[in-house]
Amino acid sequence: MQIKCNNVKYLYNPKDITDKNALNGVSLTIKQGEFVAIVGKTGSGKSTLVQTFNGLLEPTDGYTQVGDFIVTGNKKLKKSLLKTKSKEFIKLNKKQSKLKKVVGLVFQFPEYQLFNETILKDVMFGPKNFGLTNEEAEKISRKTLKEVGIPEDYFDKSPFELSGGEKRRVGIAGIIASQPDILVLDEPTAGLDTNGKKEILDMIEQYHKEGHTIIVVTHDMDLVMERASKVFVLNDGVVIHETTPDKLFNENDLSLYSLEQPAFYKFKKELKEQRFAGDIANIKDVDSLINLIVKSKIHGVKHE
């Protein structure tokens, strides 16, 4: 299922002196099965944008289309968009709550949203809400919890007995258990240690391998470099770059958008400036770069 934003605008607190234009005309397309990162400085509109993907926020103007769902708060526009559509299309758009099943949104710090008395019940909440029987919901929740690395003897514990990283996994499992086609995660690695980060990213990557679309909002440029195949840079509520991570980090002065280049790219740039003789342009990861440097030392490659 594809997501297409058409000139999406979002104004918080309209008709109030505290009104705030968070999105100023975002247009982008995310295709089925992509692993996309959305980056940009604090306040650039990332969280606002992804909340339009599952209809939690309706664009004040413009619209987001997810498959056959049209999300907009502009009633006139919606009416005109639906005018030419089939009966089924119009019927589907009357049940927009169904979009929440298609697009699973994991908020930043999902652990704060755990509320049931046991971990298993917490994860079962979503699938049950989307119409699975108790039995079906339990089956998929047990499977998902195992996949995110929570041992079975934890399932009946209170979520509040878990560590922060474990809670995060349970929070993400709660969304994955509903099997959304599109999984959106807002800052999934914030505040985790290296291991916790890797485990959560591996889990997300596994879901991606099963054919689902992944959209990650993040300030973590290593995550973007290592996992995403496409990146959108947001600035003041508009998309200013749509590119690959490699191009973004090679070609741009990221400090303009308060983003930091991954250490790997800084290092590559330094080597280039020092006229390192090896073929660094085609090196895509840290291990290959280390190998190249070690080899050049062994074989005594001369630098200018």
Pairing assessment for the beta strands 103-106 and 3-12 based on DSSP bridges: unpaired
CB of 124 to ligand ATP, least distance (A): 29
DSSP reduced 3-state for 189: coil
Residue 227 binds what, of Mg ion, ligand ATP, none (CB under 5 to 8 Å, by partner type)? none
- Under DSSP, the state recorded for 47 is H
Give φ, ψ of 115 to 5 degrees. Answer: -145, -15
Kind and range of the H or E element at 297? helix 286-298
CB of 217 to Mg ion, least distance (A): 6
CB of 261 to ligand ATP, least distance (A): 18
- Nearest to ligand ATP of 12, 89 (CB atom): 12
CB of 53 to ligand ATP, least distance (A): 13
Q: First CA to last CA across the chain, in angstroms?
A: 52
How many of the other CB atoms lie within 10 Å of CB of 163? 10
For 241-244, which contacts have Cβ atoms below 8 Å and span 24 or more sequence positions? 242/28
Residue 12 binds what, of ligand ATP, Mg ion, none (CB under 5 to 8 Å, by partner type)? ligand ATP
DSSP reduced 3-state for 14: coil
- What is the torsion angle, in degrees rounded to the nearest 10, for the CA atoms of residue 225, residue 202, residue 192 and residue 228? 20
CB of 88 to Mg ion, least distance (A): 35
- Nearest to ligand ATP of 19, 270 (CB atom): 19
- Nearest to ligand ATP of 27, 291 (CB atom): 27
CB of 182 to ligand ATP, least distance (A): 18
Q: Are 118 and 157 in contact (CB under 8 A)?
A: yes
- Taking alpha carbons only, the member of 56, 70, 50, 60 closest to residue 234 is 50
What residue ranges bind ligand ATP (CB under 6 A)?
Answer: 12-13, 20, 22, 40, 42-48
Q: Which of residues 30-89 bind Mg ion (CB under 5 A)?
A: 47
Count of residues in contact with Mg ion, rule CB under 5 A:
1
- Nearest to ligand ATP of 110, 126 (CB atom): 110
- Nearest to ligand ATP of 13, 84 (CB atom): 13
- Nearest to Mg ion of 21, 47 (CB atom): 47
Using CB under 5 A as the criterion, which residues of the chain lie in contact with Mg ion when the complex forms?
47
